[in-house]
Amino acid sequence: MTRLPSVIPLFPLGDVVLFPRVPLPLHIFEPRYRKMVADALAGDRVVGMVLLRPGWEVDYEGRPPVFDSGCAGLIDRWEELPDGRYNIVLRGLSRFRVREEHPGEPYRLASVEPLADDLGPEDSLSAARDRVVERIAEAADVAVTVVARPDLSHELFVNALCQSLDLDPMEKQALLDCDGVLARYERLIAILEFRAVERTYGKPSGSGRH
């Protein structure tokens, strides 16, 4: 697991969840986050992605609550535009837990604790991977290039799927919260199987994912 700085900037969004080892392109336009990127590029280039909790819209310009766990990323590539905006690509480094936020910048800073991702037994991982591929193959409306990449490690395979599939942000947060690769496989299988039931029978009246 990559060693993280003890204090990192937080980039909270309402619909984006980053996973370890997976790239994420971002367009940075708000002044506070332009400064965040400039400061990160002048330092260790690490930014912590966190998901905003539901209801964040009423206080987006302030500091609305975020989930306790997120994923730190390294700014792998960047382009500064003439008007001060940035195009960057974050590559996920490791999960973390927010311990304490700190004042002092227009963007959010926090002390964080890195979280390890255990792998699990190889035979169980391979069986879970096969089940994920089967569930995706059953969904005619889903086409994911990563499924055709047997060379990918289990960690990169499941994390890339979790980030690229059209899932609700809360579902992605639940996947990120899993304490290991096998647990993430199993939760992804459960989500895909639930989606299959919805496609077959429709959503229960008056319910839905929020």
- Domain limits for position 194: 122-201
Strand 46-51 relative to strand 23-28, pairing:
unpaired
Please compute Rg for the chain using Cα positions.
18
Query: What's the DSSP call for residue 104?
Result: S
Both structure tokens of 89: 């690509």
Q: For residue 209, what pLDDT is reported?
A: 45
184 and 167 in a common domain? yes
The CATH number of residue 76's host domain is: 2.30.130.40
- The residue from 115, 135, 165 where one domain ends is 115
105 and 43 in a common domain? yes
196 and 134 in a common domain? yes
Q: Is residue 79 part of a domain?
A: yes
CB-based burial label for 92 (10 Å; 0-12, 13-18, 19+) = buried
Q: Is residue 81 part of a domain?
A: yes
165 and 139 in a common domain? yes
92 and 11 in a common domain? yes
Find the helix packing angle between 122-138 and 181-201, rounded to 10°: 20
Q: Is residue 101 part of a domain?
A: yes
Q: Is residue 34 part of a domain?
A: yes
Q: For residue 195, what pLDDT is reported?
A: 78
31 and 76 in a common domain? yes
Question: What is the distance between the alpha carbons of residues 59 and 65, in angstroms, rounded to a whole number?
Answer: 9
Helix (H), strand (E) at residue 73: strand 69-80
- The residue from 53, 84, 115 where one domain ends is 115
Bridge partners for 79 per DSSP: 87
For residues 32-52, b (16+ Cβ closer than 10 Å) or e, as one string? ebbbbbeebeeeeebbbbbbb
Tell me which amino acid residue 109 is.
L
Helix (H), strand (E) at residue 80: strand 69-80
108 and 23 in a common domain? yes
193 and 128 in a common domain? yes
- The residue from 100, 115, 130 where one domain ends is 115
Q: Mean pLDDT per 10-residue run, the chain (210 residues)?
A: 84 95 96 97 97 80 89 97 97 96 94 93 94 81 59 92 93 96 96 76 53
The answer to pTM > 0.75 is yes
